[in-house]
């Protein structure tokens, strides 16, 4: 979707996972990941969503490769006979969907009419009716087709809608029959040129409708290269001799529904932030959700950068500014805010770029784990923007308050060269630093 889509992600349907996974145990599935230039989402997350207790049945490991830059995309096949599709990998979303209607700007669509395994869900189906009663936005019945209607809305007025359906998803040599997804045929996008580059979206959060839950995998991992636009997505367990021991932080779960807390997001708890060796003087309460659920910290592969609530962002910004005085030259334009939330930018000459490795690293400290952002990952070159012979680079942490979102969001830019494991059974996220381009090679992805 378009830049800074604050996804109000109204997931319309709830389906209990079918236990009869088609994947044999002990098998791994890898997929190549790809990064596409363009835009990214920033989601505000669904309310009152529930994770089915059967959504994390023991399953297998499988692999895909990906490419990344702004959105992480995965290529796979859907339908019978298989049609090739490209989907955005999004840990901040639940419902997976595909474009199913040809429009002038779409380069890739799924055509349900030519698939023998496609099965639209009628309004009368229990999936459309009784299983949506706890969701904030119920499923609708399309009066013309009598099919179950699904819609996803965005705060920038973008939206997409269509019908709920079952279809076969082909991952490598394996087929998952009857996966529930949205077959979308209409909508409005504020950046249709960029949205046209993919066929759809692969929802990977903890909700029962997400791709990983329906597939029945107990965990999944991905690794995003910081050296090229490649990566790997692994569905299932990852145990490799060359992979460092992961440091885990528990997922935060709140059973009571709160208006601003997404219960199926990958929510972790920060305990502090360091710049260089200096711990920011912030109270622990600055990182805790309040009584409404506002202020949770989500790991989101569908967002590019990392966004912090105002007081935390300001403390980090000021300390980074202080420690880089005389090293970086601030871009003095009070009217320039990159992507609406990043107001600390610098003028960088060609000779200065080599000194990025000497910048003070930023450490995000969590319970039991730490994510270190250093070197080139601290700054991002603003495309096409130069001041004389200098390029403009911006600090890769932004201010959530400027975006109007009540959350901390850790985007995929800061997940580069980190093995990211999402363990649905043990409710935890694991980190380990690794060269992701080499990891892809070791896994035989040919990246």
Among residues 87, 98, 84, 94, which one has the least CA distance to residue 36? 87
* Whole-number Å distance between alpha carbons of 398 and 341: 5
Q: Which of 90, 262, 343, 423 is catalytic?
A: 90
Sign of CA dihedral 97, 100, 103, 107: positive
90 catalytic per annotation: yes
| Residue with token string 């930023």 | 362
300 catalytic per annotation: yes
Among residues 161, 193, 208, 239, which one has the least CA distance to residue 39? 193
Across 91-133, the runs of DSSP E, i.e. the strands, are: 97-99, 119-120
Q: Alpha carbon of 162 to those of 98, 135, 391, 427: distances in Å?
A: 9, 18, 43, 32
Burial readout 332-346 (b: 16 or more C-beta within 10 A, e: otherwise): eeeeebbbebbbbbb
CA angle 258, 260, 261 (to 5 degrees): 65
Sign of CA dihedral 192, 193, 195, 196: positive
**Phi, psi at 154, each rounded to 5°:** -125, 150
Among residues 70, 71, 100, which one has the least CA distance to residue 85? 100
Asked whether 166 and 14 are in contact (CB, 8 A), the reply is: no
Total residue length of the chain: 447
Asked whether 244 and 436 are in contact (CB, 8 A), the reply is: no
Strands 119-120, 159-171: pairing is antiparallel
**Phi, psi at 222, each rounded to 5°:** -145, 160
Helices marked H in 299-447 — which ranges? 310-323, 400-403, 436-442
Q: Would you give the end-to-end CA distance of the chain in angstroms?
A: 26
Q: Which of 156, 262, 300, 343 is catalytic?
A: 300
Number of other residues whose CB lies within 10 A of the CB of residue 369: 19
Asked whether 273 and 287 are in contact (CB, 8 A), the reply is: no
Q: Which residues are catalytic?
A: 90, 300
């Amino acid at each position: 979707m378009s830049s800074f889509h604050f996804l109000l992600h109204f997931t319309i349907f709830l389906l209990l996972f079918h236990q009869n996974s088609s994947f044999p145990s002990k098998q791994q599935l890898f997929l190549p990941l790809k990064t596409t230039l363009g835009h990214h989402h920033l989601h505000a997350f669904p309310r009152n969503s529930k994770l089915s207790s059967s959504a994390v049945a023991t399953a297998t490991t499988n692999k895909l490769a990906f490419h990344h830059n702004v959105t992480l995309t995965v290529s796979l096949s859907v339908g019978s006979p298989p049609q090739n599709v490209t989907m955005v990998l999004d840990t901040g979303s639940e419902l997976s969907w595909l474009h199913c209607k040809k429009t002038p700007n779409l380069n890739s669509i799924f055509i349900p009419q030519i698939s023998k395994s496609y099965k639209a869900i009628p309004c009368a189906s229990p999936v459309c009716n009784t299983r949506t009663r706890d969701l904030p936005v119920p499923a609708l019945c399309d009066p013309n087709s009598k099919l179950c209607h699904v819609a996803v809305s965005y705060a920038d007025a973008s939206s997409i809608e269509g019908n709920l359906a079952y279809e076969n998803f082909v991952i490598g040599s394996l087929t998952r029959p009857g996966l529930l997804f949205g077959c979308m045929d209409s909508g409005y996008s504020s950046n249709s040129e960029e949205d046209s580059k993919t066929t759809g979206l692969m929802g990977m959060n903890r909700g029962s409708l997400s791709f990983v839950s329906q597939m029945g995998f107990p965990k999944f991992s991905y690794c995003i290269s910081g050296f090229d636009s490649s990566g790997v997505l692994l569905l299932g367990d990852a145990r490799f001799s060359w992979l460092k021991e992961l440091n885990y932080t528990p997922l935060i779960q709140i059973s009571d529904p709160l208006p601003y807390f997404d219960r199926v997001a990958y929510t972790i708890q920060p305990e502090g932030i360091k710049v260089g060796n200096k711990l920011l003087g912030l109270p622990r309460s600055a990182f805790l959700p309040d009584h409404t659920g506002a202020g949770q910290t989500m790991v989101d592969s569908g967002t590019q950068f990392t966004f912090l609530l105002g007081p935390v962002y300001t403390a980090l910004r000021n300390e980074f500014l202080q420690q880089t005085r005389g090293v970086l030259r601030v871009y003095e334009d009070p009217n320039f805010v990159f992507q609406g939330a990043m107001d600390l930018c610098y003028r960088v000459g060609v000779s200065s770029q080599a000194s990025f490795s000497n910048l003070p690293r930023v450490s995000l400290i969590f319970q039991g784990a730490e994510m270190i952002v250093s070197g080139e990952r601290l700054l991002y070159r603003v495309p096409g923007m130069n001041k004389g012979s200098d390029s403009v680079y911006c600090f890769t942490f932004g201010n959530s308050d400027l975006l109007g979102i009540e959350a901390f969001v850790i985007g995929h830019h800061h997940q580069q060269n980190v093995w990211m494991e999402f363990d649905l059974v043990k409710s935890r996220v694991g980190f380990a630093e690794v060269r992701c381009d080499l990891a892809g090679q070791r896994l035989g992805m040919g990246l």
